[in-house]
Amino acid sequence: MYAYDELDRTLINERVSEFRDQVRRRLSGELSEDEFKMLRLQNGVYLQLHAYMFRVAIPYGTLSSKQLRQLAHVARRYDRGYGHFTTRQNIQFNWIKLTDLPDALADLAEVGIHAMQTSGNNTRNVTSDQWAGVAPGEIEDPRIWSELLRQYTTLHPEFSFLPRKFKFAITASEHDRAAIKVHDIGLRLHKNAQGETGFEVLVGGGLGRTPFIGKTIKPFVAGRDLLSYVEAILRVYNQYGRRDNIYKARIKILVHELGIEKFAKEVEQEWLQIRDGALALDDAVIEEVRSRFTYPVYENLPNLPEELKKAAHDPKFEAWRKNSVFPHKVPGYAIVTLSLKPVGGPPGDATAEQMDAIADLAEKYSFGEIRVGHEQNLALPHVAKRDLPMLWRALDRIGVATPNINLVSDIIACPGLDYCSLANARSIPIAQEITRRFANHETANLIGRLHINISGCINACGHHHVGHIGILGVEKNGEEFYQITIGGRADEHAVVGTLIGPAVRYGEVADVIEDIVEAYLALRANPDELFIDTVKRLGVEPFRERVYATR
Amino acid sequence: MTSPLQQKIKITGPSVVTANRTWDGVVIYRTAAKNWTTDLSEAAIVREVDEARALLAEAAADDLGAIGAYIAPVEIGDDGAIEPGNLREQIRSEGLTIGLPVPA
Ligand code: HEM
Ligand code: SF4
């Protein structure tokens, strides 16, 4: 966990009073909506179809039990008893009243949570690997750097009015769980040939209307230079980014139009002027942040405890363990993923009751810590293996032990037309129907790893471009239609998927997905060849044929 | 953003003016009595562009009461009942097409 210092607490509290005053002035008519809109957006308050939506940051996806309980409290007291975990380590509340927002913010501030820069044209919540600090083989805990970036970018005057939103993601593992290649800046911690730790810096990734995979701008930037290098990138962007056209305003367009070499040259020039200035990080500062992350005192435990051997006789437990329990850097411990993708449920939603129960279980079994991942699931990062059977029973009781992690029903979906004012089509009921079709766990297991991502419009909040199967809602003559892509992926081999053909109707989507999956099962070279590898080997043609032959 | 009054107005059939209520975000409709209602059946119906523009202008002037006013299509049933004119408006008027994830 990370402990905020006095400065952060003061900042968050001052922000609450400021917003309370802004809301008061809005409601008294002193501020018009035009004047107020910018202010509310800087505090994560959007307007959706039915109500205001409130987006709260969960920096680098780490929550304490106390914080999760407070999120549950906000859901219960000011909303309709649930929240939606998003692909960017935020939680959204969908029904909040403007008049309640200052109180909700104040309640969150009590536990060090805020909504600053969760919307607007600024640097957004810095996301990271949900297994940060516990993944085996990790170079070091990437959250130290996420936190440094968070401190540096929060209310940074130069970056509060960028041409467009700006998103960072960081990983320190070989396998990228943070989707760094589809972020404005992606950072990968690694060691260079000299054995020094630093960052590969990627720039210009992004989804939305014009998807791009991030390009490496510099293969190695030392930790001391991280902030100055990032500042140089942001300055070049701030200067040249297209403010005249919202669709061309993201850094990805600038990088694309200038070309990465030219862009890199501009950044280098800028950087050389500032690298030895105030932003150079000395070790003491890095150590100070590092020391504010506390880690559990792990016990020396057997890696295969009796409790686990005994529980292995229960096939339901085994199915869950094999699917949702992952190796931890410390023997005797495990990382447990909690599925927020129950069959027939809206992906990524958790009720206040579930949040409270998970907070309790985290206290009992995971040193009071919870993680949020970009796949819209939660994780308990430090579970003693001997506790797994007990934990499983408790998770199963509250409906978060569906053994479908990374399988076909572990769908990423945006809120879509049920909530979102920008949507063309619904996302959630499409996801629900697909999970019903693949409810049988044996079948899902047989299919193996398969990521389906759904967005209700071209903004791509549901990452459809990088789903193994991507589903994008479009509108044709007032009717919902869906474009299907296959072959995308969001990890270290990130690539944008390919459209398989004309859009299909709402009622056909689940059938089409079944067809694609059946085609894959028939086409795969062997049971170990994943869907994504079959598509890579054969291209989209055989899938296109299968889907459209009868339509 | 273009103000609602500068937008080109195109209507193809009976329409209403809708917005979200400022203090709580709830969906509201403009009434003939120059007020707002949460009940679509009480909304003022307009059929001509000029009428629509006037209703929108008058609604948008209430910056304190409502935000994001715009013209939305409706359908009038044989019995005179006002129905939302498209799926988006149906969802705004009648709520989610899915159940809330709240345990009973
Ligand atoms: C009120 C609801 C929301 C609104 C109005 C909204 C708006 C947008 C817009 C306009 C974009 C396109 C940005 C661009 O291309 O420049 C975008 C992208 C994105 N949003 Fe949302 N969004 C909403 C909810 C969500 C939710 C629920 C999630 C997570 C599930 C999310 C995550 C993202 C992601 C990951 C992207 C694409 C990555 C990128 O920035 O290139 N958003 N959003
Ligand atoms: S992808 Fe479109 S429909 Fe989905 S949340 Fe984003 S803006 Fe809304």
Q: Which residues contact A470 (CB under 8 A, 6 or more apart)?
A: A452, A453, A454, A455, A463, A464, A484, A485, A486, A488, A497
Q: Which of residues 49-78 of B touch A (CB under 8 A)?
A: 63-64, 67-68
Q: Is there a domain that residue A104 lies in?
A: yes
Distance A449 CA to ligand 1 centre (A): 25
Do A167 and A32 have their domain in common? no
pLDDT score of B99: 87
> Which H or E run contains A124?
none
Residues A355 and A263 in one domain: no
- Residue B81 belongs to some domain of the structure: no
CA of A286 vs chain B CAs: smallest distance (Å): 42
Shortest-distance Cα residue to atom 14 of ligand 1: A208
Instruction: Please name which of B89, B15, B104, B40 lies closest in space to residue A399, comparing C-alpha atoms.
Output: B104
Residue ranges making up the domain that contains B47:
15-72
Shortest alpha-carbon distance between residue A473 and chain B (Å): 13
Indicate if the pLDDT at residue B4 is higher than 70: no
Same domain, A10 and A103: yes
User: CB-based contacts of B93: which residues, under 8 Å, 6+ apart?
Assistant: B27, B40, B84
* pLDDT at position A237: 93
Give me the pLDDT at residue A496, please. 97
The residues that bridge with A337 in the sheet, in sequence order, are: A379
Q: Confidence class of residue B1 from pLDDT cuts 50, 70 and 90?
A: very low
Say yes or no: A420 and A381 in one domain. Answer: no
How far, in Å, CA of A339 to CA of A378, rounded? 7
Domain-located, residue A531? yes
Where among A255, A290, A325 does a domain terminate? A290
Give buried/exposed letters for A249-272 (b at 16+ CB in 10 A, else e). bbbbbbbbebebeebbebbeebbe
CATH of residue A459: 3.30.413.10
Pair (A349, A257) in one structural domain: no
**CA distance readout (Å), A291 to A23, A173, A231, A366, A407:** 38, 21, 25, 20, 38
Residue B103 lies in a domain: no
Domain boundary among A397, A420, A436: A397
Q: Is residue B79 part of a domain?
A: no
Question: What are the pLDDT digits (tens) for B14-65?
Answer: 999 999 999 999 999 999 999 999 999 999 999 999 999 999 999 999 999 9
Q: Are residues A452 and A506 in the same domain?
A: yes
Residue A155 inside a domain? The answer is yes
Nearest partner of A366 among A389, A385, A341, judged by Cα: A385
Whether B2 has a pLDDT exceeding 80, the answer reads no
pLDDT digits (tens, 9 = 90+) for B80-99: 999 999 999 999 999 999 98
Terminal alpha carbon distance of chain B = 42
Into how many domains does chain A fold?
4
> A154-183, pLDDT tens digit by residue?
888 888 888 899 999 999 999 999 999 999
- Residue contact B102–A26, C-beta within 8 A: no
Chain A hits for B20, CB-CB cut-off 8 Å, are 47, 51
The reply to whether A489 falls in a domain is yes
pLDDT at residue A8, as a whole number: 84
Instruction: Tell me: do A336 and A264 sit in the same domain.
Output: no
Split at pLDDT 50, 70, 90, the class of B102 is low
Tell whether A442 and A469 lie within a shared domain. Answer: yes
CATH number at residue A95: 3.90.480.20
Start-end of H helices in A28-119: 33-41, 65-78, 101-109
Protein residue whose Cα sits closest to atom 2 of ligand 2: A457
B26 assigned to some structural domain: yes
Cβ-Cβ contacts under 8 Å, B84 against chain A? none
Beta-bridged to residue B27, according to DSSP, are B20
A116 found inside a domain? no
What pLDDT is stored for residue A388 in this prediction?
98
Nearest-neighbour CA in chain B from A29: distance (Å)? 6
Q: Is residue A126 part of a domain?
A: no
Residue A130 covered by a domain: no
- A475 close to A505: Cβ distance less than 8 angstroms: no
Report yes or no on B66 lying in a domain: yes
| pLDDT in the model for residue B104 | 37
Which token pair is A340?
């927020």
The reported pTM is 0.94
Q: How far is CA A144 from the centre of its chain?
A: 18
Q: Residue B91: its chain A contacts at CB < 8 A?
A: 49-50, 417-418
Q: Above 0.90 for ipTM, yes or no?
A: yes
Say yes or no: B104 contacts chain A, CB-CB below 8 A: no
Instruction: Quote the number of domains for chain B.
Output: 1
Are A200 and A311 members of one domain? no
What is the per-residue pLDDT for A206?
Answer: 93
Low-confidence ranges of chain A (pLDDT < 50): none
Distances (CA, A) of A139 to A195, A502, B4, B84: 11, 44, 53, 56
* B88 lies in some domain: no
Task: Note down the domain range covering A328.
Answer: 306-397
Q: What's the pLDDT score for residue B9? A: 83
> Residue B53 falls within a domain, yes or no?
yes
